[in-house]
């Protein structure tokens, strides 16, 4: 039997506010444990939460950027469960009246665009962090994270492949980064994703039983975990069993998912409206002011790149697919105004090297200005394009200036017609057969002569000049 895969993602984004969602404690990452707490976020009796307006503002920005309908009235709810990292015994979240609903984003996989629905976006508080001692049978709890604001962004079950799921997650992350409301760091947990997945026989409409995958802290892990889970569910179904509804954890080392617990149902949480917080009413003037203040978003930037820089759609899509990359491109073009050449270098050399080293743009040692200076050296004829690629490798591993590398390594292009001509004469004299072949009409031999000269000059001869010289000499 053929199965169709159905995937929906729940993304949690930690918001870049300075203070927590219901108290004034700092949200700074990496401080000593339990130094950023107060009676409110420690869940002491008798305290009252006060909503941080910035959290609502960030939520509204995300809602606007993803075409959601914003609820004029929404409400906070208590989600009750016991866990040592949750001192109140409940998490303040939103339930039946979320901030925003019915949005969509567009993803692109293998050149085909697809719209993915957003079910809802709501605000909630994060829980603390348990730290398990590796050597002693002891666990510690750090409450610095309790009360850090989160947006939960829930997709419709519209995704059909692990690639689509990864593409969707990238799009969501990118929008958050464009809006500057989340740092998008999956390793540090400021962007987290739970993936829900089920299989159904092709041609049927009812959804199969889903499992929920947690604990995936990179795009690659999301994709691999889903691929594993597809194989696992298929073999369960093929053996005639039912998939059980459960929460599973991804073990990246073993490349497997394993059962963590049976999935709880909404009624297990005993949701009810939080009596400590008033209903949230959002003035339409505020929404309109935020709409007007939104920065240029990925789709708009892509369209502008195509028009302003005359780039192919593909290039514009890759460059704007990550804000840091788009900014890098524009900074480089400011100094070296040949957009297509800049785009080629970024998409091939730069992205390949960063990927090889598994580095993000923020760790790139080559500034856009330095790349522009390298391209200018090629343009002026100081070095060849081929040499430039080697210089670039040096730049990206050392952060040195291209001109310094060229000088230190003596890589300047040889454009001295006199010395190149004598070298060309030597090579022609040493290869009489090829010379007569050429003169008999086999002009392809030219490549051989050029290659010989390049070999002898370690690639530093000016190729245009070499061609001119050889053509002239061969006519003699």
Residue 5, judged by CB atoms within 10 A of its CB (0-12, 13-18, 19+), counts as: buried
Min separation Cβ 99 and Zn ion, Å:
22
Min separation Cβ 269 and Zn ion, Å:
23
Tokens 């190149």 identify what position?
Answer: 420
Q: Going residue by residue from 28 to 67, which x/- string records binding to ligand ADP, judged by CB under 6 A?
A: ----------------------------------------
381, 388 in Cβ contact below 8 A? Answer: no
Nearest to 168 by CA among 212, 113, 121: 113
Work out whether 10 is an interface residue with ligand ADP (CB under 6 A). Answer: yes
5, 197 in Cβ contact below 8 A? Answer: yes
Number of residues that bind Zn ion (CB under 5 A): 5
Per partner kind, with CB cut-offs from 5 to 8 A, the member of Zn ion, ligand ADP, none near residue 10 is: ligand ADP
Tokens 């990246």 identify what position?
Answer: 252
Cα–Cα dist 385/392, whole Å: 10
46: DSSP letter: T
Min separation Cβ 113 and ligand ADP, Å:
20
Work out whether 47 is an interface residue with Zn ion (CB under 5 A). Answer: no
9, 186 in Cβ contact below 8 A? Answer: no
Min separation Cβ 106 and ligand ADP, Å:
17
Q: Cα-flanking dihedrals φ and ψ of residue 66, to 5°?
A: -115, 25
238, 1 in Cβ contact below 8 A? Answer: yes
Beta strand spans in 15-76 (E): 69-70, 73-74
* Residue closest to ligand ADP, measured at CB: 8
Residue 205 or residue 253: which is nearer to ligand ADP going by CB? 205
Which of 44, 48, 131, 266 contacts ligand ADP by CB under 6 A? 266
Work out whether 207 is an interface residue with ligand ADP (CB under 6 A). Answer: yes
3-state SS class at 3: strand
Residue 302, judged by CB atoms within 10 A of its CB (0-12, 13-18, 19+), counts as: buried
Work out whether 25 is an interface residue with Zn ion (CB under 5 A). Answer: yes
Work out whether 246 is an interface residue with ligand ADP (CB under 6 A). Answer: no
Min separation Cβ 114 and ligand ADP, Å:
15
Residue 25 or residue 423: which is nearer to Zn ion going by CB? 25
Which of 6, 16, 33, 38 contacts Zn ion by CB under 5 A? 38
Min separation Cβ 266 and ligand ADP, Å:
6
* Strand 280-281 relative to strand 149-155, pairing: unpaired
The span of 137-145, 183-191, 203-211, 274-282 binding ligand ADP (CB under 6 A) equals: 203-211
Min separation Cβ 332 and ligand ADP, Å:
39
Per partner kind, with CB cut-offs from 5 to 8 A, the member of ligand ADP, Zn ion, none near residue 25 is: Zn ion
Q: Considering Cα of 420, then 425, then 426, then 427, what sign does the dihedral take?
A: positive
Work out whether 41 is an interface residue with Zn ion (CB under 5 A). Answer: yes
Structure-block tokens of residue 323: 């804000």
DSSP secondary structure string, 263-317?
PPPGGGGT-EE-TTSPPEE--HHHHHHHHHHPPPPHHHHHHHHHHHH---HHHHH
Residue 87 or residue 298: which is nearer to Zn ion going by CB? 87
Overall residue count recorded for the chain in this entry = 476
340, 319 in Cβ contact below 8 A? Answer: no
Min separation Cβ 185 and Zn ion, Å:
22
Work out whether 7 is an interface residue with ligand ADP (CB under 6 A). Answer: yes
Work out whether 277 is an interface residue with ligand ADP (CB under 6 A). Answer: no
Per partner kind, with CB cut-offs from 5 to 8 A, the member of Zn ion, ligand ADP, none near residue 6 is: ligand ADP
- Write out the binding residues for ligand ADP, residues 129-168 only, by CB under 6 A: 154-157
Min separation Cβ 103 and ligand ADP, Å:
13
Work out whether 198 is an interface residue with ligand ADP (CB under 6 A). Answer: yes
Residue 47 or residue 294: which is nearer to Zn ion going by CB? 47
Centre a 10 Å sphere on the Cβ of residue 21 and count the other Cβ atoms it contains: 27
Min separation Cβ 217 and ligand ADP, Å:
19
Cα–Cα dist 311/305, whole Å: 6
68: DSSP letter: P
Work out whether 122 is an interface residue with ligand ADP (CB under 6 A). Answer: no
Which of 6, 38, 249, 294 contacts ligand ADP by CB under 6 A? 6
**Cα maximum dimension of the chain:** 100
List of residues contacting Zn ion (CB under 5 A): 23, 25, 38, 40-41
List of residues contacting ligand ADP (CB under 6 A): 6-10, 154-157, 196-198, 207-208, 210, 266
């Amino acid at each position: 039997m053929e199965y169709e895969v159905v995937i929906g993602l729940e993304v949690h984004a930690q918001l870049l506010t300075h203070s927590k969602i219901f108290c004034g404690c700092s949200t700074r990452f990496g401080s000593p444990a339990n130094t950023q707490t107060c009676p409110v976020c420690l869940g002491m009796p008798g305290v009252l939460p006060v909503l941080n307006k910035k959290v609502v503002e960030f939520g509204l920005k995300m809602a606007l950027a993803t075409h959601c309908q914003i609820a004029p009235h929404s409400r906070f709810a208590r989600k009750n469960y016991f866990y040592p990292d949750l001192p109140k015994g409940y998490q303040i979240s939103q339930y039946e009246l979320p901030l925003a609903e019915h949005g969509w984003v567009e993803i692109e996989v293998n050149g085909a665009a697809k719209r993915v629905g957003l079910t809802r976006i709501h605000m909630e508080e994060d829980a603390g962090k348990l730290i398990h001692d590796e050597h002693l049978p002891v666990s510690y709890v750090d409450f610095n994270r309790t009360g850090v604001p989160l947006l939960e962004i829930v997709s419709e079950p519209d995704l059909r492949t692990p690639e689509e799921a990864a593409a969707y997650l990238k799009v969501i992350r990118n929008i958050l980064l464009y809006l500057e409301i989340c740092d998008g760091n999956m390793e540090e947990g400021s962007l987290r994703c739970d993936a829900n997945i089920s299989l159904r026989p092709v041609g049927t409409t009812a959804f199969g039983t889903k499992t929920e995958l947690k604990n995936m802290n990179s795009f690659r892990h999301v994709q691999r975990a889903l691929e594993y889970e597809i194989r696992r569910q298929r073999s369960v179904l093929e053996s005639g069993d039912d998939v059980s509804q459960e929460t599973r954890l991804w073990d990246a080392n073993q490349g497997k998912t394993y059962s963590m617990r049976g999935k709880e149902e909404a009624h297990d949480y005993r949701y009810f409206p939080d009596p400590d917080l008033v209903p949230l009413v959002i003035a339409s003037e505020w929404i309109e002011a935020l709409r007007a203040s939104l920065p240029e978003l990925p789709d708009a930037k892509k369209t502008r790149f195509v028009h302003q820089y005359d780039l192919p759609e593909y290039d514009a899509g890759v460059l704007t697919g990550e804000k840091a990359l788009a900014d890098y491109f524009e900074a480089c073009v400011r100094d070296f105004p040949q957009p297509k050449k800049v785009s080629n270098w970024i998409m091939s050399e730069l992205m390949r090297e960063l990927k090889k080293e598994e580095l993000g743009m923020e760790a790139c040692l080559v500034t856009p200005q330095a790349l522009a200076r390298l391209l200018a050296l090629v343009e002026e004829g100081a070095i060849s394009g081929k040499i430039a690629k080697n210089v670039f490798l040096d730049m990206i591993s050392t952060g040195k200036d291209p001109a310094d590398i060229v000088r230190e390594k003596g890589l300047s292009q040889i454009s001295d017609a006199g010395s190149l001509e004598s070298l060309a004469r030597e090579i022609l004299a040493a290869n009489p057969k090829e010379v007569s072949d050429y003169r008999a009409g086999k002009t392809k031999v030219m490549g051989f002569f050029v290659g010989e000269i390049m070999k002898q000059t370690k690639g530093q001869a000016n190729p245009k000049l070499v061609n001119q010289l050889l053509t002239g000499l061969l006519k003699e």
